[in-house]
Amino acid sequence: MCKKVLVIEDNEAKLNKLRQFCADYWPGYQVECRSSYNTALSEVVHRGKFYDIILLDVSMNTYEVNGDASDGEQEPLAGANILRFMKLRKINVPVIVVTMYESFVDGIRIDRLDEGFRAKYPEFYKGYVYYNLKNEDWINKLNELMAGI
């Protein structure tokens, strides 16, 4: 049976890169995408167990952007909230955080978030990749983490 990866990402360019990455390096995976906190959480809670890997962004819109006022709200730590929900619902699907931010709301840095995730979610959190538009180092790191699952 085909393996499935869920990509949770609201930045279109990054999402395309991640899709391309999966196609190039993990061709056996079927890619499903969600681009808001709300739709991602719904997918994870309802169908999370059917995925083999989740690639998760940290900050994103609360709701799908429809060109109206829904865009008015951001969830700066949406990824962290999704991880918490997974823990509460015992959805133990491996998660790799893919972020292009160095720091988040209140100045929390990615390495501190990573430390917290490792401590709180050892069952399914597998680490993070720092994504950068300029270089492709992230590809190797993501490959490494995915191969380790």
End-to-end CA distance of the chain: 17
Which helix (H) or strand (E) segment holds residue 127: the answer is strand 125-130
Residue 89 touching another protein (CB under 8 A): yes
Residue 12 sits in the site that holds another protein (CB under 8 A): yes
Among 45, 108, 114, 143, binds another protein (CB under 8 A): 45
Q: Which of 63, 114, 127, 141 binds another protein (CB under 8 A)?
A: 63
46 contacts 91 by C-beta, under 8 angstroms: no
Angle at which helices 78-89 and 37-47 cross, to 10°: 20
Q: Which is nearer to another protein, 3 or 140 (CB)?
A: 140
Spatial CA neighbour of 21 closest among 58, 61, 55, 44: 55
Position 36, amino acid? S
27 part of the interface to another protein, by CB under 8 A: no
**Residue among 74, 110, 127, 141 that touches another protein (CB under 8 A):** 74
Nearest approach, Cβ of residue 36 and another protein (Å): 9
d(CA 15, CA 116): 25
Candidates 93, 98, 100, 129: give the one binding another protein (CB under 8 A).
100
- Name the site residues for another protein (rule: CB under 8 A): 11-14, 16-17, 38-39, 41-42, 45, 59, 62-76, 81, 84-85, 87-90, 100-101, 104-106, 132-137
